[in-house]
Amino acid sequence: MGTGPGTIEEMTQRARKVIESCEVVAGYSLYIDLIRPLLNGKKIISTGMTGEAKRCNAAINEALDGKAVCVISGGDAGVYGMAGLVLELAAQHPGLDVEIVAGVTAACSTAAALGAPLTHDFAAISLSDRLTDWETITKRLVSAAHADFVIALYNPASKARREHLNKACKIILLYRSPQTPCGIARNVGRDGELCKIMNLSELAFFDADMFTTAIVGNSATKVLNGRLVTPRGYVF
């Protein structure tokens, strides 16, 4: 289940009800902390960033014991979240009933914080090469840039990968002007929220972290009254 970008307010009402109805909640410690007020009296399975399979397996074991369990992801569980892994692991136990509850993914919460840059076709690309080779990431950046998609960049950097956002922007710069309007949002809906509009050449040198999502505009994107907007083409 996806808990949205930030606090409990950003979660759907359905997601909140599902969490309230569960006896066990599993998730990365940061996302557990963000929904702590809902977790009184529940068993919590919390592991660090790279313990995904262990955490999901522990959750499935609780479910096999007959407990109502939910595995939470920040944003939307289905977009770079835990939904796929849970379904893969649960497939080994055909009787297990798994429901996926959607949330607001970072592309959408970042877009809303910056204005309306995604109003038209867009591509979501993760810059993490932990589970994907950089060659595939490069191919997708090239294709998305070439076809004039607005691009939402997930996981633009981590402590171990400081240079990926710079490398990605250099690839996109082969197809787009350095003046292309872009933006970043960090910690949307949480303490330390930061939103910043900048151009593509500035984005290449922005010091992103793992709580940042970046949006690269396309040929139609512009800055209007301090907001990033990709017009859909309505005549008015």
Q: Which of residues 131-170 bind a copy of itself (CB under 8 A)?
A: 131-132, 136, 139-140, 142-144, 146-149
Q: Does 94 sit near a copy of itself (CB under 8 A)?
A: yes
Residue 84 token pair: 């796929």
Quote the DSSP letter at residue 102.
-
> Cβ distance 157 to 165 under 8 Å?
yes
Q: Does 125 sit near a copy of itself (CB under 8 A)?
A: yes
In whole angstroms, the minimum distance from the beta carbon of 115 to a copy of itself comes to: 6
Q: Does 14 sit near a copy of itself (CB under 8 A)?
A: yes
Compute the distance between CA of residue 55 and CA of residue 81 in angstroms, rounded to an integer. 13
Strand partners, 158: 161
Q: Does 126 sit near a copy of itself (CB under 8 A)?
A: yes
Q: Does 210 sit near a copy of itself (CB under 8 A)?
A: no
153 versus 200: smaller Cβ distance to a copy of itself: 153
Integer angstrom CA distances of residue 45 from 28, 51, 100, 189: 8, 11, 18, 24
Q: Does 236 sit near a copy of itself (CB under 8 A)?
A: yes
For residue 102, give the nearest of 79, 125, 70 by alpha carbon. Answer: 79
144 versus 172: smaller Cβ distance to a copy of itself: 144
Q: Does 36 sit near a copy of itself (CB under 8 A)?
A: no
